Amino acid sequence: MSDATAKTYPPSADMAARAHVDAQTYDKMYQASVTDTDGFWREQAQRIDWIKPFTQVRDVNFDLGSVSINWFADGELNVSANCIDRHLERRGDQTAIIWEPDSPEDDAKHISYRELHSATCRMANVLRDLGVDKGDRVIIYMPMIPEAAYAMLACARIGAIHSIVFAGFSPDALAARVNGCEAKVVITADEAPRGGKATPLKANADKALAQCDASVQCLVVRRTGGDVAWDDARDRDYNALIKDAADTCEPTAVGAEDPLFILYTSGSTGQPKGVVHTTGGYITYAALTHEVTFDYHDGDIYWCTADVGWVTGHSYIVYGPLANGATTLMFEGVPTYPDASRFWQVCEKHKVTQFYTAPTAIRALMGQGKEFVTKSDLSSLRILGTVGEPINPEAWNWYHEVVGHGRCPIVDTWWQTETGGHLMTPLPGAHDMKPGAAMKPFFGIKPVVLDPTSGKEIEGNPAEGVLCIADSWPGQMRTVWGDHERFEKTYFADYPGYYFTGDGCKRDADGDYWITGRVDDVINVSGHRMGTAEVESALVAHDKVAEAAVVGYPHDVKGQGIYCYVTLMSGEEPSDDLRSELRNWVRQEIGPIASPDLIQWAPGLPKTRSGKIMRRILRKIAENDYGALGDTSTLADPTVVDDLIDNRMNR
């Protein structure tokens, strides 16, 4: 029901009265942000402490061949000082991070801003001693423990560039990222406990580092105390080193356009790309969106359930909240351990006020029944949020009614790794909510809906097409690490003059936005982005596989599942054993999040006469929608389609 006739939920009078931004304020600020963009951001950037104030607000060019994005370029600052030092005077004893461990039997930790300061300084000094300088790259491959946040902030403190690799990624994926950015140090832990099981992070790092330059050092944090192999030439014991490290460390002044971090993400080719975010614009945007979207006030307890391995963890567990002097909760575990009540028990235990999670988690918990929710006292909750994929109305309604008791607004935040922070969302005290709609652009964001064929802007409402952004905002990615040309080709080539998001979208009769999903070869599995080409490369790397094509299909819990068509080498026999072999192979090559859900043996793939695989057809077959296959007459051999339909996998 993605239109203006959808049920709407206006903001409550209470919410509008206490919110930083009500409807009138939004209208006024949005207008200002798109008419006097420089003036608007000059003022917003004052929420950041600058070591050297900027004089230039922005210098942006979206023209293919000369794309260049700069915000506050002549300013200097330090993100760690903004997230810690400047809060010490007023909030030294306030909790910065609440850490909730995997097991509810273990004690939670409350880390004050003062403690965060000394832990970050110690880690920064340790990194310096390992030879890490301004501009050097550090890989973080960690469990969700406070040391992961210390590591991020320690890098920022000395001007080093971190690149976090999600702990669920395989040794091969880790090695590719260490090599891709030529990291000097990998920070990891002995093991990562999640849901009662421990992932052997150090052992994975050992396997990865065997494929990397011998000069790369490995800094190991003790989490479980489990046994690990040790190479004296390479491995460094964090717990021993911090004891002797000084607990102060002068923050390094870095330029606003110096990189803060690199985060690898899937695209439509086989190689993940290193999304580069810089310093001044990113922190301004992360801080402002965190405060406004979640209507954060002093004394709130804010919880984002993401992992720091994803951009959500960067912007909305660590950087945005800490820049605002907030109390942010960091959770090591999973929603279903020890049982499906864990999220709600943690909300009750720590009196969480804002709760931010992914639709896939909501759907999974919804399937377990509402008793798991209702036994916890959720009266502290004020605002709920979702991110990562479109939320279906059933899940939205359940979240709203069962978790939020009908009184908490839901902010459905649409954004991307590339955007640094929220680009569209309803604001809790300003906007109506429609289940499943991302509703309104954030300040400074000019969304446009383009006709996919002509590339022309569709004016008026309703409208449906591809979603582009007409102008830059401070949190925008600046380049692909080591490959600016790929950056330009991916985001600025298809629709000249615009940033192309890769998403489709509808604007309804009221002018509200609904994201309809990716229009490129990226699929969204449990809110995680996966390039179909990446899974294909992994499959064809197996010696029994001749060819593979991968598409997404609707999946009840994950949103999209991974459907693989596999052509075997001649002489290889299809079997269920081979299916599980291939599944394990992909898990090993990329990580468990890339596990194929369905593998169909395909004697042939539908190709055009020039040899291009017709994915449109494969998608339709996977979706069980082969009444709508469209024109197959351009296929080199139309009969392969019948075979694929006859043998499609049940789902």
Annotated binding site: 194-197, 312, 388-390, 412-417, 503, 518, 526, 529, 540, 542, 545, 587
Number of residues that bind ligand WT7 (CB under 6 A): 22
Burial 217-253 (b: 16+ CB within 10 A, else e): bbbbbbbbeeebeeeeebbbebeebbeebeeebebbb
**Least distance CB 501 / ligand WT7 (angstroms):** 6
Q: How far apart are CA 293 and CA 305, in angstroms?
A: 16
x/- track of binding to ligand WT7 for residues 378-397 (CB under 6 A): ---------xxxx-------
Any contact of residue 494 with ligand WT7 (CB under 6 A)?
no
Quick one: which segment of 101-109, 126-134, 500-508, 632-640 binds ligand WT7 (CB under 6 A)? 500-508
**Least distance CB 383 / ligand WT7 (angstroms):** 15
Find, among 501, 603, 492, 597, the residue nearest to 554 by Cα.
Answer: 597
Which residues participate in the annotated binding site for ATP?
A: 388-390, 412-417, 503, 518, 529
Any contact of residue 412 with ligand WT7 (CB under 6 A)?
yes
Q: Specify the residue, 193 or 388, whose C-beta has the smaller distance to ligand WT7.
A: 388
Q: What are the respective helix, strand and coil percentages of the chain, to the nearest 5?
A: 35, 25, 45
Any contact of residue 40 with ligand WT7 (CB under 6 A)?
no
One of 117, 194, 529, 542 touching ligand WT7 (CB under 6 A): 529
| Contact yes or no for 176/600 (Cβ under 8 A) | no
**Least distance CB 237 / ligand WT7 (angstroms):** 34
Rounded to 5 degrees, φ, ψ at 524 are: -120, 100
x/- track of binding to ligand WT7 for residues 239-268 (CB under 6 A): --------------------------x---
Which distant-in-sequence residues (6+ apart) come within 8 Å of 406 by Cβ? 400
Q: How far apart are CA 423 and CA 428, in angstroms?
A: 15
Single-letter amino acid code for the residue at 103 = S
Q: How far apart are CA 584 and CA 577, in angstroms?
A: 11
x/- track of binding to ligand WT7 for residues 426-465 (CB under 6 A): ------------x---------------------------
Q: Specify the residue, 206 or 521, whose C-beta has the smaller distance to ligand WT7.
A: 521
**Least distance CB 390 / ligand WT7 (angstroms):** 4
Q: How far apart are CA 380 and CA 134, in angstroms?
A: 42
One of 2, 188, 413, 560 touching ligand WT7 (CB under 6 A): 413
| Contact yes or no for 328/113 (Cβ under 8 A) | no
Is residue 295 classed as helix, strand or coil in its secondary structure?
coil
Q: Specify the residue, 71 or 414, whose C-beta has the smaller distance to ligand WT7.
A: 414
Q: How far is CA 154 from the centre of its chain?
A: 21
**Least distance CB 518 / ligand WT7 (angstroms):** 5
Any contact of residue 415 with ligand WT7 (CB under 6 A)?
yes
Which residues, in sequence order, are bridge partners of residue 457?
Answer: 450
Phi-psi region of 455 (alpha: psi -120 to 50; beta: other; left: phi over 0): left
Report angle CA 452, 456, 462 to the nearest 5 degrees: 80
Which residues participate in the annotated binding site for CoA?
A: 194-197, 312, 526, 587
**For binding to ligand WT7 (CB under 6 A), which residues are involved?**
265, 311-312, 387-390, 412-417, 438, 501-503, 515, 517-518, 524, 529
